[in-house]
Structure 1
């Protein structure tokens, strides 16, 4: 005797941001030419970029402003 198969709900498609396309709003970190994390304010993006730069000085870190479509480089000030 065959058992009835349980009905499985269709999984909802996940909304994923593409890393190769520039965001349309807010601010994003660009690490070695690739878009990474997204932030609502420039201060939050700069803080995250500086924290990343403090851990890994060899990375090229920039903050991308989606509204103006500009990038600003995060420079590591060096050891205090």
Structure 2
């Protein structure tokens, strides 16, 4: 007989990133003043921000650098 599996064992916990706390490392997109997606490199963050800005030109998108704690506008 097949042993029934418990669904709680199969679900992996998610790493939840809070939008009101600045990340400690890497680069993040700041969309209309809220932290969104986290990236490991600045070029990946800029590419994602440019693609998002192309689809939604009314958004204010900044790149947050966690190492220097600065926000720079997407050019």
2:57 maps to 57
Q: Secondary structure at the match of 1:15?
A: coil
- Using the alignment, how far apart are the partners of 2:42 and 2:31 within structure 1? 16
Bigger radius of gyration? 1
Q: List runs of 5+ in structure 2 lacking aligned partners.
A: 1-5
| Higher fraction of helix | 2
1:14 is displaced (CA, Å) by 3.9
1:3 maps to none
- Using the alignment, how far apart are the partners of 2:29 and 2:22 within structure 1? 11
Q: Secondary structure at the match of 1:29?
A: strand
User: Which structure 1 residue ranges, 4+ long, deviate > 2 Å from structure 2?
Assistant: 8-15
2:72 maps to 72
Q: Compute the RMSD of aligned alpha carbons.
A: 1.7
Count of equivalent residues: 69
- Using the alignment, how far apart are the partners of 1:48 and 1:17 within structure 2? 18
Q: Structure 2 length normalisation: TM-score?
A: 0.81
Q: List runs of 5+ in structure 1 lacking aligned partners.
A: 1-7, 76-80
